[in-house]
């Protein structure tokens, strides 16, 4: 089964918190989580192009930069899912750089609020 949402962050505690928040808003949501950016990237690249899950990706992954992640995803022959970038950094260049990627559907600074989760869930429902 293809998940509706893929969470990619090297913080396992945050992944648990995000899953719980999303399930509170939408209990029927199917979620796949990855602590490795490379594993998450491979998963997304290998999904059927008929239904790509929305993904939330941490900008500061340990094993791959968000920009390399997005470059590799956008260069894959299959369609690219909408990506929401999340970061704890307040680097003002991150939103500017993220606009260079067609697949980036949004950018959020941690901590992720319930309001942010509701917005992303709304987009998941629109895509499904």
pTM of the entire structure?
Answer: 0.92
Helix ranges, the chain (H): 12-25, 37-45, 66-74, 93-98, 114-127
Residue 112: predicted pLDDT: 93
pLDDT category, 1, cuts 50, 70, 90?
Answer: low
Residue ranges making up the domain that contains 51 = 1-7+31-77
- Residue 22 inside a domain? The answer is no
**Beta carbons within 10 angstroms of residue 80's beta carbon:** 19
pLDDT at 76 over 80: yes
- Residue 48 inside a domain? The answer is yes
Surface-to-core class of residue 92, CB atoms within 10 Å of its CB (0-12 exposed, 13-18 middle, 19+ buried): exposed
Counting the structural domains of the chain, the total is 1
Residue 10, token pair as written in the block: 């090297």
pLDDT at 91 over 90: no
Report the chain's mean pLDDT, rounded to a whole number: 90
Mean pLDDT of 47-64: 88
Burial 38-64 (b: 16+ CB within 10 A, else e): bebbebbeebeeeebbbbbbbbbbeeb
pLDDT category, 50, cuts 50, 70, 90?
Answer: confident
pLDDT at 117 over 90: yes
Mean pLDDT of 4-24: 96
- Residue 66 inside a domain? The answer is yes
Query: What does the DSSP 8-state code read for residue 49?
Result: T
């Amino acid at each position: 089964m293809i998940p509706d949402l893929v969470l990619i962050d090297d913080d396992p505690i945050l992944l648990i918190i995000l899953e719980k928040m999303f399930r509170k808003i939408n209990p029927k949501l199917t979620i796949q989580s990855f602590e490795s950016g490379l594993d998450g990237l491979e998963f997304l690249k290998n999904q059927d192009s008929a239904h790509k899950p929305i993904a939330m990706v941490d900008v500061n992954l340990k094993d791959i930069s968000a920009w390399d992640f997005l470059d590799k995803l956008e260069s894959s022959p299959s369609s690219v899912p909408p990506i929401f970038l999340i970061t704890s950094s307040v680097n003002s260049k991150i939103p500017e750089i993220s606009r260079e990627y067609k697949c980036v559907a949004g950018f959020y600074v941690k901590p992720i609020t319930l309001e942010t989760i509701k917005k992303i869930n709304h987009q998941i429902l629109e895509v499904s």
